[in-house]
Amino acid sequence: MSPAPIFRPAAAEDEEFLFALYCSTRAPELEALPGGAEERATLLRLQFRAQRLHYQAQFPNAQHLIVLDEGQPAGRLLTDRTDEEIRIIDIALMPGARNRGIGSQIICEVLAEAALSGRPVRLRVWKHNPAARLYRRLGFQVTGDDGVHLQMEWRAG
């Protein structure tokens, strides 16, 4: 297992890394679309901006962290903490950081915080995202299904 991930606050200088990270999570599904690489890049840039604006509007107090692996940006963790819950808004890792236990470690750190504070952890995940299996293994339960996304929740004990 990799050493525990290190976090730092996201900064304006991280914009291109965050866009590359976003592309790494979305590009495979866009490969099937008609058009060339330039059209797909434009679409990805628009979707990236729309996602950022949506998250800022929905979760204005969210904590946005860059995940470092061996000192290099490897992912991001976006969470929103209230008195009622800890919400994982987005967690994403670059392809080279996936399937190495880093995501599990990150989530387990959030779960430990939630257990200490007595709050549930909630998230929303695309039904076909392989991470949904990870969340189940870590004890998350499905609390909603809109046909595209699952709402999931973890509670201590």
- pTM for the model stands at 0.91
| Domain that residue 18 falls in | 6-154
> Domain total for the chain?
1
Residue 41 lies in a domain: yes
Whether pLDDT at 153 is above 90: yes
Residue 1 lies in a domain: no
Residue 129 lies in a domain: yes
Kind of pairing, strands 63-69 and 6-9? antiparallel
pLDDT at 1: 54
Q: What CATH number is attached to the domain comprising 40?
A: 3.40.630.30
Residue 36 lies in a domain: yes
Query: Dihedral, CA atoms, 135, 116, 59, 25, nearest 10 degrees?
Result: -30
Query: Dihedral, CA atoms, 106, 108, 114, 115, nearest 10 degrees?
Result: -160
Mean pLDDT calculated for residue range 93-121: 95
For residue range 42-90, list pLDDT tens digits in order: 889 999 999 999 999 999 999 999 999 989 999 999 999 999 999 999 9
